[in-house]
């Protein structure tokens, strides 16, 4: 079976789907790995390292896309890439199926079997394939470093001959994967950290990282299937808003990471809250690409509102491509090995990992949510 690792062409994407170490492991298992020349360049993995790991190099992009059984990738494929694929080829990549359902339609039209890495279920069985988590951890870490660099203050408490400096106060909203890594990083830098989440189950994890958990008691269940948060009622929103306002006002840095899968990010930090923060404070809104948790966030930009810098970073994992690629490579190679039995891809749709991750097969879209979004789109035309 021929597996192709292609070069990312998305502007700003430095990650690569396999690193030389993972290639060596796959080659040892008898898989034939082809690597596009320069594929690892953005993440500092040389062609030579892939060759030494047992891969075959090629600069023939059309051959790699058109002549392989499986194509591995990080960011969404472009139309011209999909058009080069032959029927029956398997593509494994991030695909943003709910945000870009038209891309899924194109994959189905080309009869490609597509696996969306963002659809790996968050179960313990699939943990080592969970690319959303591995990449969110990178984002949570980097968000704090960005905030620290933008803050006109120290993070740790300092006792010096020139006086005592108070530690910075960090407030993290949303204590999922990115939020927990942000808490841990801010604590390591010496800040005093508070965190809020509508899922009470995260309290212990927050506390074990040395942060204070800001608690709210709501009259409804906030956890959906799979342990993710669900959208809450207007009354609950009102109560959480009041609590958030109190803590935002006291913070030097606010890191927002709140999301409900498949929904627009909840707006949690209002313009009024921003206005009440101390000038010089910093907000890093990790949900910028989903519409933002903060009023005034602009994806990919830094804006200053009422003396507060609001940063809306996009694709932070790409800014740490070495480890982000290393973790993604582990995720994607584990899925690949899971799909291959006796040297062939075996798709058992009764298996929950395969059923939830495979979006298109045999010309059909398999994911009901994507079908619903496409139906809504065509009804609106």
> Which residues form the interface with ligand NAD (CB under 6 A)?
132, 135-136, 139, 173-179, 196-199, 202, 228-229, 240, 257-260, 265-266, 268, 286-290, 313-317
**CB closer to ligand NAD, 18 vs 268:** 268
Kindly state the smallest distance separating residue 6's Cβ from ligand NAD, in Å. 22
Q: Strand, helix or coil at 340?
A: strand
Q: In which residue are the tokens 């660099």 written?
A: 149
| DSSP string computed for 196-226 | E-S-GGGHHHHHHTT-EEE----SS--B-GG
- Short-list 18, 116, 12, CA closest to 72: 18
C-alpha separations of 256 from 47, 105, 228, 259, 266 in Å: 38, 33, 16, 9, 10
What residue spans of the chain are helical by DSSP H?
20-28, 47-52, 61-66, 79-82, 101-109, 131-150, 177-188, 203-208, 234-250, 271-275, 321-339, 352-357, 368-380
**CB closer to ligand NAD, 73 vs 247:** 247
Q: What is the CA radius of gyration of the chain?
A: 22
Kindly state the smallest distance separating residue 313's Cβ from ligand NAD, in Å. 5
**CB closer to ligand NAD, 68 vs 240:** 240
For ligand NAD, the nearest residue by Cβ is 176
Kindly state the smallest distance separating residue 86's Cβ from ligand NAD, in Å. 33
User: Are the beta carbons of 359 and 114 closer than 8 angstroms?
Assistant: yes
User: Are the beta carbons of 46 and 40 closer than 8 angstroms?
Assistant: yes
Active site residues: 122, 127, 130, 133, 228
Kindly state the smallest distance separating residue 322's Cβ from ligand NAD, in Å. 16
Kindly state the smallest distance separating residue 20's Cβ from ligand NAD, in Å. 25
């Amino acid at each position: 079976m021929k597996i192709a690792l292609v070069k990312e062409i998305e502007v700003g994407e430095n990650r690569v789907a396999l690193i030389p170490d993972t290639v060596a492991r796959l080659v040892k298992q008898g898989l034939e790995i082809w690597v596009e020349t320069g594929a690892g360049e953005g993440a500092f993995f040389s062609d030579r390292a892939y060759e030494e790991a047992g891969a075959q190099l090629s600069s023939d992009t059309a051959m790699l896309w058109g002549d392989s059984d499986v194509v591995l990738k990080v960011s969404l494929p472009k139309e011209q890439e999909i058009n080069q694929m032959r029927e029956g080829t398997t593509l494994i990549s991030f695909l943003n199926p709910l945000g870009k359902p038209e891309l899924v339609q194109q994959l189905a039209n080309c009869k490609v079997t597509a696996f969306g890495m963002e659809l790996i279920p968050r179960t313990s069985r699939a943990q080592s394939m969970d690319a959303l988590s591995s990449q969110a951890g990178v984002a949570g870490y980097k968000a704090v470093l960005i905030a620290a660099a933008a803050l006109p203050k120290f993070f740790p408490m300092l006792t010096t001959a020139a006086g005592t400096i108070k530690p910075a106060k960090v407030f993290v909203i949303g204590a999922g994967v990115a939020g927990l890594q942000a808490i841990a990083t801010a604590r390591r830098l010496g800040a005093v950290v508070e965190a809020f989440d509508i899922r009470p189950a995260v309290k212990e994890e927050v506390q074990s990282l040395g942060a204070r958990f800001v608690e709210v008691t709501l009259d409804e269940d906030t956890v959906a299937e799979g342990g993710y948060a669900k959208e809450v009622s207007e009354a609950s929103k009102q109560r959480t808003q009041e609590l958030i306002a109190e803590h935002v006002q006291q913070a030097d840095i606010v890191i927002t990471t709140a999301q409900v899968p498949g929904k627009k990010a909840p707006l949690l930090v209002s313009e009024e809250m921003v206005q009440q923060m101390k000038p010089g404070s910093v907000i890093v809104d990790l949900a910028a690409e989903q519409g933002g948790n903060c009023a005034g966030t602009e994806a990919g930009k830094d804006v200053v509102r009422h003396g507060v810098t609001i940063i809306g970073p996009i694709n932070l994992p790409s800014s740490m491509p070495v480890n982000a690629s290393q973790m993604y490579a582990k995720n994607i190679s584990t899925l690949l090995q899971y799909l291959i039995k006796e040297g062939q891809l075996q798709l058992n749709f009764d298996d929950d990992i395969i059923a939830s991750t495979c979006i298109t097969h045999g010309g059909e879209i398999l994911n009901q949510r994507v079908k619903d979004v496409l139906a809504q789109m065509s009804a609106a035309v």
